[in-house]
Each structure stands twice: as structure tokens, then as C-alpha cells.
Amino acid sequence: MTNAGQTPPDPHLTTDIGLLRVDHVGVAVPDLDAAIALHTGTFGLRVTHRETNAEQGVHEAMLTAGDGRTVVQLVAPADPESTLATFLGRRGPGLHHLAYTVADVAAAAATLRDRGLRVLYDEPRGGTSGSRITFVHPADTGGVLVELVEHPAGD
């Protein structure tokens, strides 16, 4: 029996959790404007987006280079009680998380939970530019805080 009319998933393009690519790398910074000046002035990255995410307690900026597929996210605490503020207090500025683009964040989270990983949110939350996000506990991923990002349809 063939699945006539359907295109099978291409294993070279996606994984079994619907992971498509690296979405961005997140860098924790204490001061967003100072960090933007550093990354634009040093590497010539361009700021493509800024927003404050009150739910996450962060001010953030997306920076890109070249064709726009290289994205660095700078995140600074907007709230001294935020988990990011706690991270900065313990670890100082630096690499914070690795974000993957996924086709369906709820489905990817469910599969990872089935595999025994701790997914931080019961339901995906609002991320940058209307995306839906969740995080996987770094203790279950070799020390890397992994963010899963589902972009709005058409993005």
C-alpha cells in the first residue's frame, strides 16, 4: 500500500520530531543596547527585530547576517525576578540557549516527553514575533537549554 498523493517526509530535511533547522542561538546579556552595539560594531550583524516579552521577562533583539538564516538572539532581563536574571546572576553573560525550528511545537514537545525529557511548559507559550515556543531542560540535553520554535503559518 502506498500513500498515493502524499509526499513522504524527506529524512534529510526534517527529523522524527519535525525539527527543521537551527532557528537561532540565544545569548544572555545584562544590557541589551550595549550588547547590540557590541555585536553590530564587532561582527557587523544587523538588528532585524526588537521586542519585550513580558511573559518571559526579557527584552530581546534578533540580529542577522548574510541571507538572514544566521540569527543571534540577544536576551536581557526585563524583570529582576525572571529566570534569565537568575541565570545571569549565577553564570554571567554568555551563551544561553540553542533554538530549533520545529513544524509543530506541541507535537515535538509531546514526543520529547514520551522520550523522558523534561519540557518546561505544559503548553507552548508566546515567543518572538508571534512564534510558539517551549524549552527542554538542560539536564536532559547534555547541558544545553534547548528552545523549540514554531513560527506562525507562512513564516
Give the residues lining the site for Co ion (CB under 5 A).
Answer: 26, 73, 99, 147
Neighbours of 92 (CB within 10 A): 9
Write down the least CB distance from residue 1 to Co ion, Å: 42
| Cβ–Cβ under 8 Å, residues 53 and 128 | yes
Active site residue 24: yes
Q: Which is nearer to Co ion, 17 or 99 (CB)?
A: 99
By 3-state DSSP, what share of the chain in percent is helix, strand and coil, each rounded to 5? Answer: 25, 35, 40
Residue 13 CB burial class (10 angstroms; 0-12, 13-18, ≥19) = exposed
Active site residue 147: yes
Cα end-to-end distance, the chain, whole Å: 34
Write down the least CB distance from residue 26 to Co ion, Å: 4
- Residue nearest Co ion by beta-carbon distance: 26
Query: Which one is catalytic: 39, 56, 59, 73?
Result: 73
Query: Which one is catalytic: 24, 39, 59, 96?
Result: 24
Q: Which is nearer to Co ion, 18 or 26 (CB)?
A: 26
Write down the least CB distance from residue 3 to Co ion, Å: 35
Query: Which one is catalytic: 39, 96, 147, 151?
Result: 147
Query: Which one is catalytic: 39, 56, 59, 60?
Result: 60
Q: Which is nearer to Co ion, 17 or 24 (CB)?
A: 24
Q: Which is nearer to Co ion, 9 or 86 (CB)?
A: 86
Residue 37 CB burial class (10 angstroms; 0-12, 13-18, ≥19) = exposed
All three cell numbers of 128, joined, read 518572538
Active site residue 97: yes
Query: What residues are labeled active site?
Result: 24, 60, 73, 97, 147
